[in-house]
Amino acid sequence: MEFTLLGAVLVAVLALYGTLWFEARHGSSADCVRDVWDMVLAGGMAGLVAGRLGAMILAGTNPITSPGDILIVRSGVDTVVASIAALATFGWVARRDLWRLADAAAAPVLAGLAGWHASCSLRGACAGTPTDLPWAVTSPGGTVGRHPVEVYAALGLAAGAVALALWRRRARPAGVAAGLALFGAGLVRLVTEPLRPSLGGGPWEWYLAAVIAGAAVGVWRVRRVSR
């Protein structure tokens, strides 16, 4: 049995907390880092559990009769279910000061997602579609060179987290950073989706919806604040 999901979670949590700490040190986080951390952690855990359960059900595994499989990476985590559950949970616990807290969580969440994707080496799940590029990787037991698609995603998300953290060093309209984070996360997954091995093409519609929703939130918050 492979309990590699816990290792992936640890990498993601360390990246998230490290970015949150960095932003707090530079005065661009919320007043109380612990509050933001608790809210993001609640959303992340809810998303992780919901996404794992969703993946198990889609793979035909009954979570009730096989509860131990929740911690075993066999069919992964359903990213759509996980994202919706995480956003809904965070929105609920941060509802009294949603936009400010969402902005404070924006860059750390992107960094956490980058850490999650970067942990592909722990799960043996970095490889995507075949390629002859010199940095191609091979799947465990395979000989065909493949795109390290999870590494691509990790680099894109990490770059977004750094850019957003630097951008937030100046005062910005509340909610714009959150919109940009959603836009960036959706864009990275949308761009890398064609490089992922999938018989059905993946849920690219959901990633496109995230891009559109993130852009809409950013534009709406800018216009609302400028009135």
What does the buried/exposed string (b/e) look like for 103-142 if buried means 16 or more CB atoms within 10 Å of the residue's CB? bbbbbbbbbbbbbbbbbbbbeebbbbeebeeeeebeeeee
| Distance from C-alpha of 3 to C-alpha of 72, rounded to nearest angstrom | 5
Report DSSP state, residue 68.
Answer: G
Neighbours of 205 (CB within 10 A): 11
Structure pTM?
0.86
Structure tokens at 220: 């709406």
pLDDT digit string, tens, across residues 141-172? 778 899 999 999 999 999 999 999 989 888 88
Q: What is the pLDDT of residue 130?
A: 93
Q: What is the pLDDT of residue 60?
A: 79
Residue found by looking up tokens 């005062």 in the block:
171
Q: What is the pLDDT of residue 28?
A: 59
Q: What is the pLDDT of residue 32?
A: 65
Average pLDDT of 188-215? 87
pLDDT digit string, tens, across residues 14-39? 999 889 888 877 665 555 677 888 89
Average pLDDT of 192-212? 84
Q: What is the pLDDT of residue 142?
A: 79
Report DSSP state, residue 67.
Answer: G
Q: List the chain domain ranges.
A: 4-226
Whether residue 49 contacts residue 63, with contact meaning beta carbons closer than 8 Å, is answered with no
| Distance from C-alpha of 97 to C-alpha of 113, rounded to nearest angstrom | 23
CA-based torsion, 204, 174, 98, 159: positive or negative: positive
**Residue 3's pLDDT band (boundaries 50, 70, 90)?**
low
CA angle 147/45/35 to nearest 5° reads 115
Whether residue 19 contacts residue 108, with contact meaning beta carbons closer than 8 Å, is answered with yes
Q: What is the pLDDT of residue 1?
A: 39
| Distance from C-alpha of 91 to C-alpha of 33, rounded to nearest angstrom | 17
What percentage of the chain has pLDDT greater than the value 70?
89
CA angle 187/71/38 to nearest 5° reads 60
